[in-house]
Amino acid sequence: MNRSHGHRAPSGRVAYVSGRYLPHAQAGVHIEDRGLQFADAVYEVCAVLDGRLTDEPGHTERLERSLGALNMPMPMSPAALALVMREMVRRNRLKNGMLYLQVTRGAYRRDHAMQANPKLSVIMTARAIDIDAIGKRRSEGVAVIALPDLRWKRCDIKTTGLLANAMAKTEARKRGAFEAWLIDSDGMVTEGSSSNAWIVTGDGVLVTRNLSSTILAGVTRAGVLAALKSGAGTGVEERPFSIAEAVAAKEAFMTSASGGVLPVVSIDGREIGNGKPGPMTQKAHALYSKLDQSSTAP
């Protein structure tokens, strides 16, 4: 067998599973982990830009809220979690990418009833993102389609039970769109399959759905709201809106950790405004990027 000396092969992706850093391809959980069996798990996605974790405190706080809603404790202190997240960024040599964190109730004999004192599984993975592709979407805008919201009634909990979201996203891609905006039984937009939805009215007011159990409290959504409210002369309303109102709007956009602020230029094939990213969307992106008050260096 030929062995090379003095040269190390470049390291590949690294995952974290319950205290161990492992090669990504070798990482795994027990076959009876409740995250696999019941989607009895929550997750967070944190963007890494220029080697910095973006909106980290917001993601940590939302993780704790989601865990609490399912009667699960934090798997470690926020300080310890921050150290592991930074180590994942370092080990994966991540400059621009996404850090995924999942916490499951752990591995037990299959039983629908939830364990009172769970032995949590903690999983982290990281991957690079194509900054140029995101920049192109931001400069050209994206298309969305409207679909019925088939998700469960606690969308405020960021669980790994994403089958309805995945079905909606897949249908959007089949129809040549980037995202699906989900419509409730009253005909109002809740949010996207993996994003929060926004419009700009004819009067220049920004509108996004108010927080409730029907939508996820997006961390990027919160950052954009804070940024917009700090910008002089920017009116913001948190309320439901319909697809008809969105089609008649001056502009529309979506927010997410993976894409930041992305313009929406058509819904179900109908152009929004002039069919191009508008000035208010660009302002929202600029203000949010400038605010960036939660980004932390690893």
CA-CA distance, 184 to 203, in Å (whole number)? 25
Closest alpha carbon to 261 in 173, 136, 142, 138: 138
Give the whole-angstrom CA distance, residue 5 versus residue 3. Answer: 6
Cα separation, 138 vs 265, in Å, equals 10
Question: Which of 95, 153, 158, 229 is an active site residue?
Answer: 158
Instruction: Round to whole Å and give the CA distance between 180 and 172.
Output: 6
Main-chain dihedrals φ then ψ at residue 296, nearest 5 degrees: -135, 140
Measured distance CA(174)–CA(170) in Å, rounded: 6
158 counts as catalytic: yes
| Beta carbons of 272 and 252 less than 8 angstroms apart | yes
Provide the β-strand partners of residue 33.
Answer: 107
Helix ranges restricted to H, the chain = 34-38, 56-69, 78-91, 131-140, 163-174, 219-230, 243-247, 279-291
Q: Which residues of 152-183 are buried (b: 16+ CB within 10 A; e: fewer)?
A: eeebbbbbbbbebbeebbeebeeeebbbbbbb
Determine the distance from the C-alpha atom of residue 179 to the mean position of all C-alpha atoms in its chain, rounded to a whole number.
13
Exposed/middle/buried for residue 284 (C-beta within 10 Å: 0-12, 13-18, 19+): buried
Q: Which residues are catalytically annotated?
A: 158
